[in-house]
Chain A
């Protein structure tokens, strides 16, 4: 079952995606199909089963509070869309 256009637009906004009206319609169909597929799990009786988010059962590994070398500034900025040799530069956000 397709999901509502409103839901698609909401999700698109959260993901910072601009969709045309045709794309919204297409997404409503496709996302609906995916959700229908996952919804098959609802047919199982899971009342007595706790949700399990993790496969591993061991404890979370932790590290000592010991400083490691950071990157040189120039390396840190290497993947920046733009930089001024010091900061990452992005379009103004406020």
Chain B
């Protein structure tokens, strides 16, 4: 194994990773004004004097954004603080019309929480340091030819929560699992759509390494510009390797911000921390402290939907699903709800789990659909599975019917009725077996002469003539009996 294969590095070094996530809250309007938050839109059409930072305007806080930030904190087992303060973070950049970003600094809305991370080998809690509210900045498009930048302020003032994780993660895999779980929690809470491509869920990573088995932290590097789960893994992998190589060749790690380049898979130095901005935070005089009494916190708590961890333990305790199946089924809130509705509509939990994973997910990805666009409602799947479990149709028939349900909006009850269901009556099956023997006297003779392989051919004929409706187990048994009876008679 190469010295710089990740496995080998991890024997000598322990990475220490903490993630900062900016999540866009799903409000209709911006955090301090009534402009819409919709993605896209003609440039500079979702703007007003407030979010453009015109003199004389005042910010007025969006109460939905507050409730969603509270929900985020509760979902992450944080303490919601009864008094938080909005502060000005001062820097000059063309995407920031006021010359400062309204954020929270020393008094964030939520502190100290955790989320549960489920890995194949272990489940653990990763700490959350804080959750604070802030406004998003605008968007710059740089033109290399003209030497000019275009600025679109539509996104300026869109409400964000920044979720700062503790440095509790020790591999790229753990970091990716953390992000997936966090995104899942925000989606279960319905406070963020978690769309990485559109930038509604953005991640920066702080990473350092220390010799395995030691405590003191190494110098950390912040990586920005990571826009997919896969790239989180790539960026961290690259950075851990880079730091290990540097330290082992006697170089020091510089405290700096590095940008991840998805094309090269590498991180590049953007600026050192010494020359990084001095933000001169101070409490925003335009905004009073945000005082939250217990009533509003409890109101949000009482409307909190179940979290992924709750759903996971319910699927385990109530339905007896295995961890792997639970992980697949709870990966998306909509999928978990979809599955559960099949079960509550009367289907067997294990059969439903298998059906969703093999039949539904495959077709969804084949048709490039999300589960909310699934053409077959869960209740119909439940009826189909019940027909199968009660023996009216075979598994093969269920799949064929499901195909019709998917493509043609067919109703399972009508389909089963039309097909007439499984032929499982002994007398009927014996009669059919007799007919097969009569139709294929040569093969029957061969069978009786000991060439038992021919049974497969006869069974195939039987299934064909019954259009697949014969109960295959019973039919196979009765066919053999019928043929053997003919042999006995002939002697």
Contact = CB atoms under 8 A, between A and B. Distances in A.
B290 interface: yes
A59 B288 contact: yes
Nearest to A82: B148
B149 A90 contact: yes
A38 B348 CA distance: 75
Given A54-B288, A61-B60, A70-B45, A90 B66 contact: no
A45 B232 CA distance: 51
B288 A76 contact: no
Contacts of A63: 34, 60-63
Contact of B149 (A62, A65, A79, A93): A93
If over half of A's interface residues share one DSSP class (helix, strand or loop), that class is named, otherwise mixed; here it is loop
Interface in A55-85: 56, 58-73, 76-77, 79, 84
10 contacts: A60-B287, A61-B60, A67-B28, A68-B35, A69-B34, A87-B43, A87-B151, A89-B148, A90-B151, A92-B144
Interface of B: 27-29, 33-36, 42-49, 52, 54, 60-66, 85, 90, 92-94, 140-144, 146-153, 277-278, 280, 283, 285, 287-291
Given A56-B288, A58-B288, A90-B94, A70 B46 contact: yes
B33 A68 contact: yes
Nearest to B68: A65
Contacts of B47: 70-71, 76
Contact of A88 (B44, B61, B287): B44
Contacts of B146: 92
A34 B285 CA distance: 21
Contacts of A65: 27-29, 62-65
Contacts of B289: 53-54, 60
A70 B36 contact: yes
B139 to A, nearest CB: 10
Contacts of A61: 60-61, 288
